Amino acid sequence: MAKLYFYYASMNAGKSATLLQANFNYNERGMRTMLWTAAIDDRGAGEGDAHAIESRIGLHAGAHRFAAGTDLFGRVGAVHAEAALSCVLVDEAQFLTPAQVWQCADIADKAGIPVLCYGLRTDFRGELFPGSAVLLGIADTLVELKAVCHCGRKASMNLRVDARGNAVSEGPQAEIGGNDRYIALCRRHFSEAMGR
């Protein structure tokens, strides 16, 4: 029985690297996969999208890009009908719409293909992303990947910073950036940085 998985963590926990390792494992055994990432995150775009998913440790792979209107169930189903897929892997899953999360569940439940989603649980204010909220509610398996705060405790929060390194508490929920824009912190240090 195929399942819907949600691997979640703060920034810098190795979500993309873990996804790419899982993809490698499937491919090494001759199994076909389909990779997806958010269209909003174009940091890896280039070279024919060969770097659509890229980890901080240098691993990368091409991937299809989803936007809010992308029909994942239809797109995956069309590819699966031509040649069977063994797994669907979704990076930046926090950007899935609630409807797309349910489509991922349908891919597992109706098409019998495991779906492995990787993403952030919360934004820079400590609030759930809509896609992550639905994944936390309906995924068959939840796996927390660990990042480390500068104090050595588990980093579970994502602090957005400005160009001077000061905490940012306002702005759009989705703002793409890496280590220059976000710092993974434990809840205590996140709260202190946000002045709570």
- Which H/E stretch holds residue 101? helix 98-111
Q: What is the pLDDT of residues 23-58, one digit of tens each?
A: 999 999 999 999 999 988 655 544 446 567 777 777
Residue scoring higher pLDDT (186 or 160): 186
Which one of the listed residues 92, 127, 144, 192 is annotated catalytic? Answer: 92
pLDDT tens for 65-97 read 999 999 999 999 999 999 999 999 999 999 999
Q: What confidence category does residue 176 fall into, taking pLDDT thresholds of 50, 70 and 90? A: low
* Short-list 100, 119, 151, CA closest to 18: 119
CATH topology of domain 4-146: Rossmann fold (3.40.50)
Whole-angstrom Cα distance, residue 129 to residue 112? Answer: 27
Q: Is residue 54 annotated as part of the catalytic site, yes or no?
A: no
- pTM for the full predicted model: 0.89
Q: Where are the domains of the chain?
A: 4-146
